Amino acid sequence: MKRYLLISAVTFVTALFAYDSADAETPFSDVSESFWAEEEVAYLNEEDVLTGYENGTFGVNDPMTRAQAARALARVHDLDTSEPESVSFEDVQKGDSAYPEIAAAVEAGYFSDGETFQPHETITRAQMAAILSRAYDLTGEETVDYKDVPEDHWAYDDIRLLGEHRLTTGYDDLTFRPAEDVTRSQFSVFLARAEEESFRADAAVLPQRAAEGVYYPRMVGLEDAVQESINTTLNEQGQASAEESEEVEELAQDANGELAEDYVYEETYRIEQNNDEYISIVFEEYQFTGGVHGMSQHTAYTFDAQTGETLTLQDLFAEDTDYVSVINETIETEMEDEALGGSYFDFDGVEPETDQFYVTEKGPVVYFQPYEIAPYAEGIPTFTVPWDEF
């Protein structure tokens, strides 16, 4: 199979330049090897930037305080804390343990001077974005449209810069949650990514708003030609959906009565795979223009991550792989087991050129729109075929 022919060379090159955390095991009782932020916590602990508590824990779910953030940034940037400029905060005294780091971080421009510093207050995700964008002089002009961060949000520029530099991609529901408190483990991940390139995703996927309720993704971090090819396709999908949204709005204006208020067109997306091999994205569309129920539809794109080429199902397999038979047998078996379709719907087999599929770590997933092989109540039937079946 083609998927197994890829990328020992890429793996080798990546290994040459990436931070090696293999020897940086954490000594903390609440950070196991399988913990999602284990490598970042280990890295910052090894660098003596963000260490744990006397009881042997790191406090992974403890909120990050402003004093702790100032101390970590002063350490990671090796700021001079011996004789920092005095600060005017009423709640921070020269005898306080964190005073030198707070004063140094303020002098460096990471925090603003003022009447109070609130050293024991927790920092929110928006505040963290502002602090990190200052501390790392992040710049950029691209738009990032998290659903809960409008352009008039006080930290909009800082938040979009974190996305543009691949320090975050937000949450799966396309939100950033700016008011949410940051935990010590979350801060570790953000800071490690800012400090060390190898902790960032090779390619990040950032939300773009095409119209009210219509979102499409934009890739950053790929080679220019590959990125342009993929983003052109995704942008075309977004603009086409924006036009459909406009058509639904026009229908609503022509409709009679209260029903028109329920007319809606929405589209979002989800990332099924994003690695050196495949970038696989599923658009989820829903519209209601009257009738018994609305209609849902999926549109999937799977790209070759090395070339930017849009793939069809046959592109996933070597020429001598009888993938069509394997997939058809899987679908037929599952339809029979789940009594899908009944006597009113037929399944005639998948076409090699189909684009109604996406790729996951487990294997390719073939899907069907409502009414294609089953009644509306079955939604969008999906069938996953594990890679080792081929």
Q: Write the DSSP string, 304-352.
A: ETTT-PBPPGGGGS-TT--HHHHHHHHHHHHHHHHT-STTT-------T
Instruction: Check whether 1 has a pLDDT greater than 60.
Output: no
**Minimum mean pLDDT range among 74-88, 168-182, 341-355:** 341-355
pLDDT in tens, 38-74: 999 999 999 999 999 999 999 999 999 999 999 999 9
Q: Model pTM?
A: 0.88
pLDDT number for residue 12: 42
Span 208-389 CATH architecture? 2-Layer Sandwich (3.30)
In the predicted model, what is the mean pLDDT of the chain? Answer: 92
Instruction: Check whether 94 has a pLDDT greater than 60.
Output: yes
Instruction: Please give the structure tokens belonging to residue 82.
Output: 């011996």
pLDDT confidence tier of residue 364, bands split at 50, 70 and 90: very high
Average of pLDDT values for 163-170? 96
Which are the contacts of 183, defined by CB distance < 8 A and separation ≥ 6?
Answer: 60, 61, 62, 63, 64
Average of pLDDT values for 147-164? 98
Average of pLDDT values for 245-257? 87
* 182 touches 125 (CB < 8 A): yes
| DSSP tag of 65 | B
Average of pLDDT values for 330-355? 86
Instruction: Check whether 255 has a pLDDT greater than 80.
Output: no
Residue 265 backbone phi and psi in degrees, to 5: -135, 125
Average of pLDDT values for 359-371? 97
Average of pLDDT values for 188-202? 97
pLDDT number for residue 260: 79
Instruction: Please give the structure tokens belonging to residue 193.
Output: 């990514």
With CA atoms as reference, report the closest residue to 262 among 226, 289, 223, 234: 289
With CA atoms as reference, report the closest residue to 353 among 390, 387, 324: 324
pLDDT number for residue 4: 43
Which are the contacts of 242, defined by CB distance < 8 A and separation ≥ 6?
Answer: 210, 211, 214
pLDDT confidence tier of residue 254, bands split at 50, 70 and 90: confident
pLDDT in tens, 297-336: 999 999 999 999 999 999 999 999 999 999 999 999 999 8
User: In this prediction, what percent of the chain has a pLDDT beyond 90?
Assistant: 84
Strand partners, 270: 282
* 208 touches 143 (CB < 8 A): yes
Instruction: Check whether 88 has a pLDDT greater than 80.
Output: yes
pLDDT number for residue 389: 95
pLDDT in tens, 202-250: 999 999 999 999 999 999 999 999 999 999 999 999 999 999 999 999 9
With CA atoms as reference, report the closest residue to 108 among 140, 71, 68: 71
pLDDT confidence tier of residue 257, bands split at 50, 70 and 90: low
**Minimum mean pLDDT range among 2-16, 192-206, 313-327, 354-368:** 2-16
Domain spans of the chain, in order of start: 20-206, 208-389
User: In this prediction, what percent of the chain has a pLDDT beyond 70?
Assistant: 93
pLDDT number for residue 17: 47
